[in-house]
Amino acid sequence: MDIPHDTAIEQAIYESIWRVKPSLQAMPMTPATRLSSLGLASIEIMSVVFEMEDVFEVSIVDRQLDTFRTIGEGRDVVRKLLDERNGHVPALAAE
């Protein structure tokens, strides 16, 4: 599986949020948007995470759930998990 660009990951996160709570499609979101600011109940946040796991074929709940509060942090978690799964080493770590 090719690793998607950050904007593609962000878009997939937005779409996961919209699938769980369609009324949020009208709300502007950016990578800095905090999940807590979206008015999602805890069960809805978990549903968003499950959607993300399905889309990217990664396991967030078991390892990374506590590390993101914003959409951008969610993107970073997904990027890290995809990199690990595909054996990519981040540029800074390779130096």
- What's the pLDDT at 84? 86
How confident is the prediction along the chain (95 residues), in pLDDT tens digits per residue? 566 788 999 999 999 999 999 999 999 999 999 988 999 888 998 899 999 999 999 888 766 667 778 999 999 999 988 988 877 655 544 44
- What does the pLDDT read at residue 42? 85
How far is CA 81 from each of CA 20, 36, 51, rounded to the nearest angstrom?
A: 22, 23, 15
pLDDT of residue 93: 44
Instruction: Tell me what pLDDT residue 33 has.
Output: 95
CA atoms of 68 and 80, how far apart (whole Å): 12
**Residues 6 or more apart from 64 whose CB is under 8 A from it?**
77, 80, 81
Long-range CB pairs of 87-91, under 8 A, 24+ apart, other chains included: 88/3
* 53 and 61 Cβ atoms separated by less than 8 Å: yes
Taking residue 48's Cβ as centre, other Cβ atoms within 10 Å add up to 21
* Phi, psi angle pair for 68, to nearest 5°: -135, 135
pTM of the model: 0.82
* pLDDT at site 2: 60
